[in-house]
Homo-oligomer: A and B are copies of this chain.
């Protein structure tokens, strides 16, 4: 009999205390066994993946999706390697993030603890199954994994390997890591509404999934949302650095959320720097949509409309606008941005610091490409996503994002007098 998503969450919630109580060593040992088990189950996992891929091809899904689904040799090796990366990361549980003593002698400590049950809804890529399982377990949480139906056989085969490893560790409950057996849309909705059972839901997917979570979720969520990212080139910028960062930020991987979509250029650079960089971008295949002043200075540009400032192209298209100063750039970004990642190139320290202060996004890059907005590049090892919200965590999310900070107060019999 198939377990419903809600039943899976109930089993996770019942196991949460035991998983939270595991020591770092206990967690690392089971994770190492999980990595080994994936290698031992290699043939079964690849066979299941061939079934999923064949079925996906038959049902006519896009080539991009088939590519994401397919376990190449490198990706297969990556499953176990990811888990071993997580073993090497420091355990966030028990970290004391601050503390102080009150005049009455009470010692207040802020201590990181597991959230409890973390559910993740994700799409085709089977490596997410191993990544999320490892991140949740290392941070002392029970993982509820809701992969997509297109990867169902692959995910089941990976889960079988993980279960084999978990079964060898009596202190680790079987429900520490679970795959939702039914990968339907209904099971995703069940997770969104499993209030009191799920402590954090992370949706990893396209706009339709995010919209559905924003509409339907009653459980706490962290949204990994859109990336309409900006780069501002100040009058004080080193011209060569400005060119290199612009080209990198737009062309190194245009399909990801930390690629820039709009370039904001200080008025002083319109004649002496802008045409050159637009030539280089065009040579790299980028279509330029400019404001009126951009089109005047560089007539090959298409005319940008208001809509362009709000569009996440995720493609070789770049909107370009001339601004009067750093405040105009900050204003444009606050109006049109999605609070993901933004950058500035500037030598003027006051300009750079003002941009860093007043741009209200998850990450702000001064003299560096916003493409570095990434858990791996931040040193988090493996990322669970990139938060575009302000509460709990902003920007790339690693193990810490899967914890909560509790107050532990140590006394010697203090009682409170009523004022």
Question: Please, which residue of chain B has its CB at the minimum distance from the CB of A199?
Answer: B390
Interface string of A344-388 (1 = CB under 8 A from B): 010000000000111011111111110111000111000000000
Contact between B244 and A415, CB atoms less than 8 A apart? yes
Complex CA–CA separation, A406 to B363 (angstroms) = 6
Contact between B391 and A404, CB atoms less than 8 A apart? yes
**Copies of the polypeptide in the assembly:** 2
Partner of A245, one of B252, B390, B392, B413: B413
Contact between A409 and B364, CB atoms less than 8 A apart? yes
Q: Does A303 contact B (CB under 8 A)?
A: no
Binds B, one of A30-38, A100-108, A150-158: A100-108
Binds B, one of A41-49, A173-181, A214-222: A214-222
Q: Given A214-B218, A394-B406, A358–B21 Cβ distance below 8 Å?
A: yes
Q: Given A390-B115, A390-B199, A413–B368 Cβ distance below 8 Å?
A: yes
Contact between A413 and B244, CB atoms less than 8 A apart? yes
A391 to chain B, nearest CB (A): 4
Question: Please, which residue of chain B has its CB at the minimum distance from the CB of A419?
Answer: B376
A71 to chain B, nearest CB (A): 18
Q: Does A405 contact B (CB under 8 A)?
A: yes
A193 to chain B, nearest CB (A): 12
Q: Does A238 contact B (CB under 8 A)?
A: yes
Contact between A252 and B406, CB atoms less than 8 A apart? no
A376 to chain B, nearest CB (A): 9
Q: Does A416 contact B (CB under 8 A)?
A: yes
Partner of A238, one of B378, B379, B413, B418: B413
- For chain A, residues 321 to 348, give those with C-beta under 8 angstroms from any C-beta of chain B: 330-331, 334, 345
Contact between A369 and B222, CB atoms less than 8 A apart? no
Q: Does A20 contact B (CB under 8 A)?
A: yes
Total count of chain A residues near the partner, CB < 8 A: 74
Contact between B404 and A366, CB atoms less than 8 A apart? no
Contact between B406 and A362, CB atoms less than 8 A apart? yes
Contact between B366 and A409, CB atoms less than 8 A apart? yes
A263 to chain B, nearest CB (A): 15
Complex CA–CA separation, A357 to B23 (angstroms) = 12
Q: Does A412 contact B (CB under 8 A)?
A: yes
- For chain A, residues 120 to 145, give those with C-beta under 8 angstroms from any C-beta of chain B: none
Contacting residues, chain B, for A415 (C-beta < 8 A): 244-245, 247-249, 252, 368-369, 371
Contact between A220 and B409, CB atoms less than 8 A apart? no
Q: Does A116 contact B (CB under 8 A)?
A: yes
Question: Please, which residue of chain B has its CB at the minimum distance from the CB of A244?
Answer: B415
Contact between A367 and B248, CB atoms less than 8 A apart? no
- For chain A, residues 228 to 247, give those with C-beta under 8 angstroms from any C-beta of chain B: 238, 241, 244-245, 247
- Since A20-B357, A362-B407 are in contact, a sample of 11 more A-B pairs with Cβ atoms closer than 8 Å, ordered by chain A residue number, is A17-B358, A106-B372, A106-B377, A115-B390, A220-B391, A238-B413, A252-B417, A361-B406, A363-B409, A369-B414, A392-B392
Q: List 23 A-B pairs, Cβ < 8 Å.
A: A20-B358, A100-B379, A106-B368, A106-B372, A214-B218, A244-B413, A245-B415, A247-B415, A253-B418, A356-B408, A361-B406, A362-B406, A363-B408, A366-B409, A366-B410, A367-B412, A367-B413, A368-B410, A371-B416, A372-B411, A373-B407, A393-B405, A394-B406
| A interface residues, Cβ below 8 angstroms from B | 16-17, 20-21, 94, 100, 102, 106, 108, 111, 113, 115-116, 199-200, 214, 218, 220, 222, 238, 241, 244-245, 247-249, 252-253, 330-331, 334, 345, 356-358, 360-369, 371-373, 377-379, 389-396, 404-418
